Structure 1
Amino acid sequence: MPDPLIRVLDPTRCHLGEGPSYDPVTETAWWVDILECRLFEVPLDEQTGPARIHALPMMVSDVAMIDSSRHLLAAEDGLYIRTVRDGQLSLFCPLEAEDAGTRSNDGAVHSSGALWISTMGRNAETGRGAIYHVAGTRVTRLFAGLTIPNGIAFSPDGTTGYFIDTDEGVLRRVALDPASGLPVAGPETHYGHSGGEGGIDGAAVDEQGLIWTARFGGACLDAYSPAGERVRTLPVPVRQPTCPTFVGRDLKQMLVTSAYEGMDEAARAADPEHGRTLLVDLGVRGLLEPAFRLDA
């Protein structure tokens, strides 16, 4: 299979680009720069000029759609509803608000409308991270003792959840109740990443059930089968890709965020596109991340 066309969607360099989402109604892509407290907005039907950048009053790691007029933002002390029209924020529910040493990290919405969202130590301290299930304002801790929880994604039928501790390098799967997105069994090893540079970061699933992951530090995307095999590796022109999501009218394009976090001047010079956000004409149809249900 030939490599797809890859281009820079937005030239702005993100310190730590993350948390992308897509609104199919307005054909708009959204993502954040966690460390610089910025929210990015690009109408994909126009693709003219750079993204519109919105300043945020706190670090935000993930954008989930509620509807075309509202987002759910995962921030350092809780989940906030943001009104698209005027940027107003209102606290929806707290998340580790009592612990100033942690912040939110990777997240994804299950087909039930519930959110899985992770937390981690602000300096990636060992074992400070966790993954939570959020249904409406009901917050349930699922997994604890993680360091850099990432790769949260779900199978097309909602019966399997995926996640990884990037520090550990093991992609895990867990059987779920498809009606709620809650686990019905303990996690199992899906793929143990060894060999090659970098660590598995964010993930997105296509309609065939392949789990597409960004390999931070490895300058590539990897695809894993539902059976637990790595079936494809796609080079990308950024050293530190962070998170993919499917976008576009036919969901055959993939937006990939990236970061220059931790890179010195020499490393940045060796990686000319560092921190930029990419658009990959993947050619396989992905899944649209569901909207978060406020009343789940």
Structure 2
Amino acid sequence: MSKVAVSVLSDVACRLGEGPSYDARTDTLFWFDILERKLLEKPLSGTETIVHTLPVMASAIADIDAERQLLVTETGLQLRDRASGRLDMLMEVDANRPDMRSNDARPHPAGALWFGTMSKTAEEQAGAIYWFFKGELRRLFSHITVPNSICFSPDGAIGYFADTRENRLYRIACDPETGLPVDDPVLTVEGKEMPGGIDGSVVDTQGTIWNARWGGARIDAWSPRGELIRSIPMPARQISCPVFIGRDAGRLAATSAYEGMDGEAREADPEAGKTFLVDLDVQGRLDPPVLL
């Protein structure tokens, strides 16, 4: 384990903090409390965290243009007006399934979006991973319980995803021009012997995969071949997803959660649910806008 200084970036504790996304247009970090239907916003130049109440559960946000963002929600993909916060449905996904919600997501370098869905009660193999690009939607993978770790190599030729319930990370060859898979998934990390589960991930310019270890109180760095490079201890047990922040993508932040903790567990894990800044220089990458 590599000792790295970690500080609290936002002390707003989330029941299920997830989906952090850095917006270079405004130098702002966005993330969600999925279960509490909250969108959180923190300008990196300021100290206050702004909390927006949402009408639906949402789990991920992506840039579109100067006026709009894309939200991945329990009923589908919705457009968010930056100025007013108004939501408009772009494409329904599981809108007639109140038992389902969205989970992890990330834009592919080509401007496509991969996103996952899952049962609100984590029913076995009820979830899926979808691809959206220029108005077209396809289901890529089915029979997933908790879809996570959606991320891509810098050139877009490799995609990654995990089922946290299985605790396995897969890689798959992709078409760099569209983000569509062109081969079968290959098991890359088998995490069953390690504490916690494979949660959200991002990939830096060198191809290193930075993964949040849910229940393991750490962030792991993996090579593209699945070799563990280093582990960074974190001050909360349920770390959910890292993100590169800053216009140079040179820093790392991470969300966490207090989901499932009783009073005694929260007392033992007082930082649970907060969002953290990792004092580590990284060669990160910023996600591209999603192409509608």
Figure out how many residues of one structure are paired with residues of the other and give that number.
292
Tell me how far apart the structure 2 counterparts of residues 113 and 280 of structure 1 sit (CA, whole Å).
28
Check conservation: 1:247, 1:255, Cα contact below 8 A: yes
Shift of 1:71: 1.1
Which among 276, 288, 291 is matched to residue 289 of structure 2? 291
State the one-letter code of the partner of 1:47.
G
Per-residue CA deviation, residues 157-210 of structure 1 (Å, 9 max, x unaligned), is 100000000000110000000000000001010111132321010001111100
CA distance in 2 between counterparts of 1:205 and 1:243 reads 12
Which residue matches 2:25?
25
> Structure 1 CA distance, aligned partners of 2:2 and 2:174?
35
Any residues of structure 2 matched to 1:74-223 within 5 Å, and which?
A: 74-223=72-221
Percent identity for Structure 1 against Structure 2: 50
Tell me how far apart the structure 2 counterparts of residues 252 and 2 of structure 1 sit (CA, whole Å): 18
Contact 2:2–2:230 (CA under 8 A) maintained in structure 1: no
Counterpart position of 2:246: 248
Which amino acid in 1 is paired with 2:141? Answer: F
Q: Provide the C-alpha distance between the structure 1 equivalents of 2:191 and 2:58, rounded to a whole number of angstroms.
A: 28
**Contact 1:119 1:149 (8 Å CA) reproduced:** yes
Equivalent-residue separation in structure 2 for 1:235 and 1:148 (angstroms): 24
Query: Contact 2:4/2:233 (CA < 8 Å) preserved in 1?
Result: no
CA RMSD, Structure 1 to Structure 2 (Å): 1.2
Equivalent AA in structure 1 for residue 197 of structure 2: G
SS in 2 for 1:20: strand
Contact 2:2 2:231 in 1 (8 A): no
Query: Per-residue displacement from partner, 1:109-146 (whole Å, max 9, x unpaired)?
Result: 00111100000011000010100001122110000001
Q: Structure 2: where are the runs of 5+ without partners?
A: none
Aligned partner of 2:39 in structure 1 is 39
Q: TM-score, normalised by structure 1?
A: 0.96
Aligned-pair CA distance for 1:66: 1.1
Contact 2:175/2:182 (<8 A) preserved: yes
Distance (Å, rounded) in 1 between the aligned partners of 2:278 and 2:46: 14
Q: Deviations over 1:86-109 (max 9, x none)?
A: 101100101122322211110000
Report the TM-score when normalising by structure 2. Answer: 0.97
Q: Confirm or deny: 8 A CA contact 2:170 2:187 kept in the other structure.
A: yes
Give me the whole-angstrom Cα distance separating, in 2, the residues matched to 1:34 and 1:71.
17
Q: Secondary structure at the match of 1:261?
A: coil
